Amino acid sequence: MNLSRASNEEKLQLCRKYYLGGFALLPFLWLVNVLWFFREAFVEPPYSEQDLIRRYVRRSAVGLGLWGAGLGAWIGLFQSRRAQWGALGDALAFTLPLGTP
């Protein structure tokens, strides 16, 4: 989408939709929101809707960071302790590495 052709109100509505969509367990929408609207929020000359766009972009970045930290923690925990969890670890795994109990 070409944001330069959209009105400021349309940009605000789209930014808000992506921000709210991230709460539907779709954190990649927060990533898209940050990438698409960063310039609108922090680089472009001031306009009336910019404060709300800036707020949505910041909150999207925080939400994306929390999701990334949580996912990273889960991956680290699962990779390091899967074998210790026995049947539960095996049930959660897609593939079982050879040579592990």
CA distances from 51 to 11, 36, 69, 73, 84 (A): 12, 16, 27, 33, 49
> 10-35 pLDDT, tens per residue?
999 999 999 999 999 999 999 999 99
Q: What pLDDT is recorded for position 43?
A: 95
Which stretches of the chain are DSSP H helices? Answer: 8-21, 27-42, 50-81, 87-92
Return all residues near 5 (Cβ < 8 A) that are at least 6 apart.
Answer: none
Euclidean distance between CA atoms 84 and 8, whole angstroms: 54
> 48-99 pLDDT, tens per residue?
999 999 999 999 999 999 999 999 999 999 999 998 998 898 888 887 567 7
Hey, where are the domains in the chain? Answer: 3-92
Cβ atoms within 10 Å, residue 73: 10
